[in-house]
Structure 1
Amino acid sequence: PGPAGGCAPADHAIVIQTPADLYSRGLAGRFRDSFEGEIDVLDYAQDGDFSGAGADDLRFDSAENLADEVCRRLRESPGSLVYWSARAREFTAFINALDHKGTCGDRDVTVLGGNDLTNVAQTGAFNDKHWLRLYFSGHRLPDTDPRAGTKTRDFADAYDRFVRTTTRGTDPWRQDGHAAVAYDALHVLSLATDLAYRDEHAAPGAVLTALGSDSIRFDGATGYVSYHQGVNQPPADKTLVLLRQTAEGPIAVVACGAYRQGRTYAAHGEPCTA
């Protein structure tokens, strides 16, 4: 939080990772490499497995003890950000521990995490935690965002129709980007298969070759999907969104990449190019 309740860049981060989890350790490592302020690393493993931990890292297997340590550090550096790279299950235990202790002296806690947190954030589990400022990443704009493309909105509409006809009640994950990523991935595979088997004598590796071509490009659920030729990488300018969770649902505070055709990281400038 910045002056008058606004936002300001954090100059200190408390990084919480599960060192034995490759996903968690990878996210934490990339954050440490790019963050320009001071960093403290806390290892959190409810199962007590701290393999992969740094020699000087503090280690916690209790959510209550971790909450105490985080609050102590937030009192010392009130403008700090908590960067959460551990899994959603551990995050729920941590937030409950903070809530039970009355948070950190009635101060707001700002948390930034990866897209794994959508698994619990969008259920509304934290809607009554008014002290929590939760931000996490995703790969699709909410369909309520005016920047969302037609295909993104069409996907959300089709998703809603499917939920209405197959389940009861509402689906809390309707704005989650995982389903959109999976939908686009299957579309990519379908197009690559079509390209490969235009020739009935195609070799078994033809699909892989097609995936490395620049012939695959389309408007998808996540945005405009295209690939650079001969490069084994994610889609060019893959959509990346920073979301803030609210009681009304996620709100995109930063949108980067090709969420529409013609959008690029370079054109967006900072923070997308940072």
Structure 2
Amino acid sequence: MLARSYAYCERLARREAGNFYHAFRVLPRPQRRAMCALYAFMRVTDDTTDGPGLVSEKQSALACWREQLDLALLGDYVHPLYPALHDTVQRYAVPRAYLDAVLDGVEMDLFKTSYETFAELYRYCYRVASAVGLACIHVWGFEDPKAIDYAESAGIALQLTNILRDLGEDAGRGRIYLPKEELKRFNYGPAQLHAGVRNEDFRRLMDFQVSRARHYYAGARPLSGLLSPAGRAVFQVMAGTYESLLNAIEKSDYNVFSKRIGLSRWRKLGLVMQAMPARLGWV
């Protein structure tokens, strides 16, 4: 059962993980499989509330998924990913609180379509991204507790990048993650965002957002030195991928409305190759 569960998670991650799976591949097989199990849990959790349907129905589905997690961590599995997740949580001592935080973040998306302040947005980013990173570093291996703060910063940086990349797509779905107080500060309104207006006010707003994301990338950088060699390598690939995305967003003159900005396969391969010295313990 356990082998089948890990195989299921690996297939799902290979098919859906996009910017993450190429990073997982620098890990030794046991850690790579654990990362696939974590990813599968996050992916299925997110899918639970995606798509059409009443909010009440989605909330019920998420509550059921929470109950299934409770059962899974007691050894009672009702989904094919759960044996692998249970094994990963036990093997790498992943705190349950991080899984609960992810569930809380997904639930926020059911009821909140906008945020007044960055403090509110930070709470959301922590739940849907930092908590994921904090679970990951237990798989990657660390000893210094300072790694926890750096991993939190990394999650914020990656999620802020996601928000900027998906700005147009989210607006089309009625979601605006950029804080209202910041839209007002830069004289750029929700109506303009929905219409995909790229004027000087929008560029100043985006300059500010990119600068803040870079601040969190800088705050996360010391994490690399606190991880095991394999963990250092996977972190470098993941952070490098998303920081490259941020650079690409800026280079496109913030053209996030007419296309989805991404990295080429060759660029991703280059990031993996750059991380190999760390993976081999040379740096």
> Taking structure 2 as the reference length, what is the TM-score of the superposition?
0.28
Q: Which has the larger radius of gyration?
A: 1
**Bigger relative contact order, structure 1 or 2, given CA contacts below 8 A and separation 6+?**
2
- Whichever structure has more strand as a proportion of its residues is 1
